[in-house]
Amino acid sequence: MIEELHIRVERLGVLLAFAVSLAASAAAEPRSIASLVDEAYQKNPELHFYEQEIAVARGDRRTAGTWPNPDLSSQIGGKSYNSLGGKYLGTGPVWSVSLTQTFEFPGRVSLRKAIADKQIALAQLGLERFRVSLRNQIEMLCYRLLAAQDRAAAATEHNGFATSLPCLFCVNPPAPRPLSRCASWKEMLPPSTTGRHRR
């Protein structure tokens, strides 16, 4: 559980660092999503870990189909000789050489090969699953960045329009009506507000 959390925190850190570098590079020059995905494939350490796992599984497959090497061992030493009555007769060298080879049943070798083949297939599936997940996360970050850039451009345009709007009123301000000519407050209102609509 703690190991999973640690891996997820590392993955989140890698994605956050990628998003920051993506935002920094987006300001510098426009890039395609495919080039960003390729760069992530080259620089992601977890992806390299999965590729190394495939290499290890292929190495295990090679060794699964081979016979174990023969084992050659030797011993040398000294021995003292005594008679049956316990009288010391002398000493002499003692040595021994042994060669052992393990033979396995044919079904066991093919079983080890099949297990190694499945391990390779499993490692390749894990690699492909991680690549798809990484590509989806990068595409999502790119689309979010594009949406944020569009919102920022719209807000800048709206802000420019909002700041120029009061200047339009300043250029041609409406002429105030003199109060001396108005007989009542009803004359100051536009004509649509003074009368009631008849059906």
Q: How far apart are CA 172 and CA 13, in angstroms?
A: 56
Which helix or strand (DSSP H or E) is residue 96 part of?
strand 88-100
Residue 160 has pLDDT above 50, yes or no: yes
This prediction has a pTM of 0.49
Q: Which long-range contacts (CB under 8 A, 24 or more apart) does 96-105 make?
A: 97/72, 97/73, 98/72, 98/73, 98/74, 99/70, 99/71, 99/72, 100/70, 100/71, 100/73, 101/67, 101/68, 101/70, 101/71, 102/67, 102/68, 103/67, 104/67
Is the model more confident about 80 or about 159? 80
Most confident of 8-12, 40-44, 106-110: 40-44
pLDDT exceeds 70 at position 189: no
Residue 34, pLDDT > 80, answer yes
Which of the two residues, 21 and 4, has the higher pLDDT score? 21
pLDDT-derived band of residue 199, with 50, 70 and 90 as boundaries?
Answer: very low
* pLDDT reading at 5 higher than 50: no
- The pLDDT tens digits for 119-133 are 899 889 989 999 999
Please give the mean pLDDT across all residues of the chain: 75
Candidates 125, 123, 138, 126; CA nearest to 42 is 138
pLDDT at residue 31 above 50? yes
CB 126 within 8 A of CB 4: no
Task: Identify the pLDDT of residue 194.
Answer: 47
Q: Which of 24, 3, 17 is nearest to 45 (CA)?
A: 17
Helices (H), the chain: 2-28, 33-43, 45-64, 106-171, 191-194
User: Quick one: what percent of the chain has pLDDT higher than 90?
Assistant: 8
pLDDT digits (tens, 9 = 90+) for 38-67: 888 888 888 888 888 889 888 888 888 787
CA-to-CA distance for 47 and 139, rounded, in angstroms? 17
